[in-house]
Structure 1
Amino acid sequence: MLQTSTARRDLALGIIVILLLGSVAAGFPQFATPGNLAEVLDDSAILIMLALGQMLVILTRGIDLSIAANVALSGMVVALFNRNYPDAGVVPVLLIAMVSGTLLGAVNGLLVWRLKLPPIVVTLGTMSVYRGLIYLMSGGTWVNDNQMSPAFLGFVRYELLGLTVLSWLAIVATAGAAVLMRYTVLGRDLYAAGGNPAAAAYTGIDPGRMQCISYTICGAIAGLCGYLWVARFAVAYTDIALGFELQVIAACLIGGVAIAGGIGTVTGVVLGSLFIGIIRNALPLIGVSPFWQMGINGLVIVVAAVLSARRREDKRAILETQPA
């Protein structure tokens, strides 16, 4: 019954995204051209990947406010590496980005798991620490496109079947997350750890360990996105992705991920990310200031949190009506 409710919500969100796209296209027909839609997907790709990572954390009753700072720090690490070793190629850059992000995510996970610290406090602290480390590493200077190798910049822009590598990475990440959550023991354990930690512990699942794993995976994705962000925008500096964690959280909440854990789907998160991506690309067309976009994101988070609370009450009511 709960799965049916989740499927219906995903379907409703999908219809809303289509209607939103249709309404924008009605006023600006060029918005719905294949080329522009490919650009919207390209623009939403990093958000999709980060939201999938954040989903894992929220499912286990955590939150990662440091995800954008992880993106920025990992991006600066690979930018400095490429500046000093421009002939190293893309593969070492990808590996360094993912290792950097994984370590930063693991720090969050271990602090939450081993020291039993509140996730919001831990990640709020590491967010500031990671931003500070960027300044120490770079000395406050920028790494610009003229200091980056053509291979470093060109990888994300390479096109295959009409889509960039950046878009394909988002598609692969979506498929991988769907397989992980639907067909693996780890996926089921993550749901169980967030849905009912006491019952999960009784069956041998350590909720704290699941939180640590989710933070680590989220960190690895953020590390990869750090390189993708720097390569796409061709610049690395201290304030990269500043405030982007709000859009990531909003995408999860719009997609139906319950802030109390245990509920959420890959489909919903992707649709939530596309919803934000369409709005973000449509607002400039109708002359809305970028400053209003921040306010809209905040409003979306509040509304989605209220709906998430209602879903939690619905879930509780469903469980109470089921026979023991």
Structure 2
Amino acid sequence: MTVATRNAPRTERTSPLSGFLRRREIPVAAALIVLVLVTYAANPLFLSQQGVKDLMLNATIMIILAVGQAMVIFTRNVDLSVGSILGLVAFLTGTLFADAPGIPIPVVFLAGLALGALLGAINGLLVTVAHVPALVITLGTLYVYRGINNAWAGGTQYFAGDRPDEFGALAVDTVLGFPIITLLAIAVVVIVGIYLAGARSGRDLYAIGSDPEASRVFGIPVARRVMTAFVVNGLLAGLAGVLYAARFNSVGATTGTGMELDVVAAAVVGGVAIFGGSGSVAGAAIGAVLLTTITSALTALRVDKFWQQAVVGILIIAAILVDRIASVRTARKLRLTEARDV
């Protein structure tokens, strides 16, 4: 046997099934299934026709927000202003329907998407141009956007009766058993997932999150890609704001308050590494479904709201610890492999 043969790098072959089971999304999906089955066993009404529809509706807004947040986290950033963006767009939606009767629903959607994208672009510019950590920037814009909404809305609220019946029907009517707005959320997950997997600019987001400096060396336009992630995140928050106005009975100055932490939690619990570079939008969507289902399940089991929040906190800590342990194990395997091949 030659030296070259002895020193040839060894490759481990894994079956497709083994690779599938190692995916980050699998434990989250398994936890979701167990949660649903246990809750159903304790309360059979949990999976009634209306109960299943409510579960899908409750998860819809969070799924869209989690997908956008995941794109930002992939780049080793975070956006804490999404709840405020949603609130502004939701109130804009109510204002358009109240002040411009007969306005076409597609125009309202376009206005909401445009405002969300604009607010996301402001976040992206501040992060990429000022070179200030996104956590600090978006914490500031969270309060700025919320302040603008408070000043604009004041004590005004818009209710379900202020919007066209066709608009409200988006959260009522179903296709093949799925609410229309839930199908929109699924479409968002599929489209963004295809973009991240198939487009070079999408794959660049992972590279940036893994090593920003190396990405610059390899010619990736880091600032432009990060800017794109923030704009898309804002656009999706705008879409969520419009759908929020269709889903819920009222919108006002406090709409969306506190949602930002739930959104980050959904992405992290869904397997998106908080330090960037890995995860998937499908996982973020499953994480969103898990968190909203936990709330519904604990409510169905008449568990105190405090414990609902505690469970979410435990899930976040567990997800971060699992990600950290996986990173350490991967680094250890890499070192052992390099030592063996020397």
Do both share a fold (TM > 0.5)?
yes
Distance 1:34 1:301, change over 3 A: same
- Which residue in the other structure is 2:265 paired with? 250
Residues 169-209 of structure 1: CA deviation (Å, up to 9, x unaligned): 11101111221121111221111111111221111112232
Give the alignment's TM-score, normalised by structure 2: 0.88
Alignment partner of 1:231 is 2:246: yes
Letter aligned with residue 208 of structure 1 = A
Give the alignment's TM-score, normalised by structure 1: 0.93
- Which residue in the other structure is 2:4 paired with? none
Is the Cα contact below 8 Å between 2:80 and 2:142 reproduced in 1? yes
Alignment partner of 1:65 is 2:95: no
Alignment partner of 1:24 is 2:24: no
- Which residue in the other structure is 1:129 paired with? 144
- SS for the counterpart of 1:8 is coil
Alignment partner of 1:99 is 2:111: no
Letter aligned with residue 198 of structure 2 = Y
- SS for the counterpart of 1:194 is helix
Distance 1:320 1:184, change over 3 A: farther
CA distance in 1, matches of 2:151, 2:210: 40
Aligned pairs for 1:199-278 within 5 A: 199-278=214-293
- SS for the counterpart of 2:295 is helix
Query: Which shifted more, 247-256 or 289-298?
Result: 289-298
Is the Cα contact below 8 Å between 1:246 and 1:297 reproduced in 2? no
Letter aligned with residue 268 of structure 1 = G
CA distance in 2, matches of 1:197, 1:17: 34
Aligned pairs for 1:156-167 within 5 A: 156-167=171-182
CA deviation after TM superposition for structure 1 residue 8, in Å: 3.4
Runs of 4+ in 1 over 6 A off after TM superposition: none
CA distance in 2, matches of 1:321, 1:102: 46
- SS for the counterpart of 2:102 is coil
CA distance in 1, matches of 2:97, 2:139: 29
Q: Percent identity?
A: 31
CA deviation after TM superposition for structure 1 residue 227, in Å: 1.0
CA deviation after TM superposition for structure 1 residue 151, in Å: 2.9
CA distance in 2, matches of 1:312, 1:233: 41
List gaps (5 residues or longer) in structure 1.
Answer: none
CA deviation after TM superposition for structure 1 residue 118, in Å: 0.8
Is the Cα contact below 8 Å between 1:201 and 1:207 reproduced in 2? yes
- SS for the counterpart of 2:24 is helix
Distance 1:313 1:210, change over 3 A: farther
Residues 212-249 of structure 1: CA deviation (Å, up to 9, x unaligned): 11111000000010011122112111111211112111
Alignment partner of 1:148 is 2:163: yes
**Which of the two has higher C-alpha Rg?**
2
- Which residue in the other structure is 2:7 paired with? none
**Quick one: which of 106, 117, 131 aligns to 1:116?**
131
CA deviation after TM superposition for structure 1 residue 299, in Å: 3.1
CA deviation after TM superposition for structure 1 residue 48, in Å: 0.8
CA deviation after TM superposition for structure 1 residue 148, in Å: 2.4
CA distance in 2, matches of 1:303, 1:319: 24
Is the Cα contact below 8 Å between 1:253 and 1:308 reproduced in 2? no
Residues 59-118 of structure 1: CA deviation (Å, up to 9, x unaligned): 100011101111001111121111101201210110001000000011101100011011
CA distance in 1, matches of 2:231, 2:95: 23
Query: Which shifted more, 62-71 or 259-268?
Result: 259-268
CA distance in 1, matches of 2:212, 2:49: 45
Alignment partner of 1:307 is 2:322: yes
Letter aligned with residue 147 of structure 2 = G
Alignment partner of 1:54 is 2:69: yes
Query: Which shifted more, 136-145 or 182-191?
Result: 136-145
Residues 276-314 of structure 1: CA deviation (Å, up to 9, x unaligned): 122111111111233433333233323322323323333
Is the Cα contact below 8 Å between 1:54 and 1:63 reproduced in 2? yes
Residues 122-146 of structure 1: CA deviation (Å, up to 9, x unaligned): 0000000111111221233212223
Letter aligned with residue 245 of structure 1 = E
Residues 23-55 of structure 1: CA deviation (Å, up to 9, x unaligned): 111111222345422321121011111101100
Is the Cα contact below 8 Å between 1:97 and 1:227 reproduced in 2? yes
CA distance in 2, matches of 1:103, 1:32: 40
Distance 1:319 1:205, change over 3 A: farther
